[in-house]
Amino acid sequence: MGADIADYLDAARAEAGLARTSLRSYRADLERFARWAGRRGMAVWADLDTAGVIDYLGSRRAEGAAEASVARGLVSLRMLLRFLVMEGALQGDPTSRVPAPVLRELLPHTLSPEEVEALLSAPRGNGWMAQRDRALLELLYACGARIGEVVRLRTDDLEPKLRVLRLHGKGDKMRVVPVGAQARVAVEEWLQSGRPQVARHDRQAELLLTRNGLPLDRTNAWRRVKAAAAAASLPRTITPHSLRHSFASHLIQGGADLRSVQEMLGHASIRTTEVYTQLDEGHVRAIHRLHHPRG
């Protein structure tokens, strides 16, 4: 089983262009399944039937796995088995008759415009760290970017004259998003004043840097957002993704169409973006009450 898993992951990396984080998740799911199958004496994939798949999902629930993790494990297994069928190594996919777990859709946490303003204003002073943190926060909110996309930014990804930014998303897919005036000001301040104090040399490409001139990584960027939230006396549940969710929700509240928001977020499917229309229901009801003659 291990060799088949390795072959599938190699194909997924080369042909589908899956991101490293996705590949790690699939690998972990499939290796977990292989260990479970090994304990039950399943030596080859042909030993697995639909009942076995259902038994495995039940064992994951018994271990206390979240339903989202169970669902992802099923998807990982299904993708591998379909690959084996396409390769002629397996006659049929035993997961085809197994329904996906029903997930309770959790609406993402979003900030009000006032909370966003407080968060973005949290880094105080003119020191290099405050300048960098302002640029980080502004970019997260102005572009709806994922934290991994922001820390991967290079100095030449920003086009000041065109007022756009190139983001490199999942699977190394590139998209171009607009950058608002305040975010451009914060980034320019960082480039001209703060960044030269810590950059190792003039030709260093990474945009956001640490005290030692190293590229800011996801963990430290996460911590800087948390620190800003604490400084602004905002809930501890705020994460970098909260700014991404707020970006999308505020655009839709302002009248942006769903397709445009989908493109800016880099969602492959518009169904993923549709969750923000649910977030906006309260806003719509308030507008109705305010403006409808019988509201």
Is 267 catalytic? The answer is yes
**Residue of 170, 175, 218, 226 with catalytic role:** 170
Contact 197, 176 (CB under 8 A): no
Which amino acid, 34? A
For 60-102, the DSSP string reads: HHHTT--HHHHHHHHHHHHHHHHHHHHTTS-S--TTTTSPPPP
Query: In the chain, which ranges are E strands?
Result: 158-159, 164-168, 174-178
Structure token pair of residue 295? 């509201």
Q: Is 223 a catalytic residue?
A: no
Residue from 60, 132, 195, 267 carrying the catalytic annotation: 267
259 is catalytic: no
Known catalytic residue at 244: yes
Asked if 174 contacts 168 with a C-beta cutoff of 8 angstroms, the reply is: yes
166 is catalytic: no
Cα distance between residue 115 and residue 249, in whole Å? 14
Q: What are the phi and psi torsion angles at 178 (to 5°)?
A: -70, 155
Of these residues, 132, 184, 244, 245, which one is catalytic? 244
Pick left, alpha or beta for residue 281 (phi over 0 → left; psi -120 to 50 → alpha; otherwise beta).
alpha
Q: Which helix (H) or strand (E) holds 21?
A: helix 20-39
- List the catalytic residue out of 32, 60, 146, 152: 146
Angle between helix 240-253 and 218-231 (nearest 10): 70
* Catalytic position from the list 72, 78, 109, 241: 241
Could you tell me the sign of the dihedral formed by the alpha carbons of 38, 65, 229, 253, in that order? positive
Whether 109 is catalytic is no
Active site residues: 146, 170, 241, 244, 267, 276
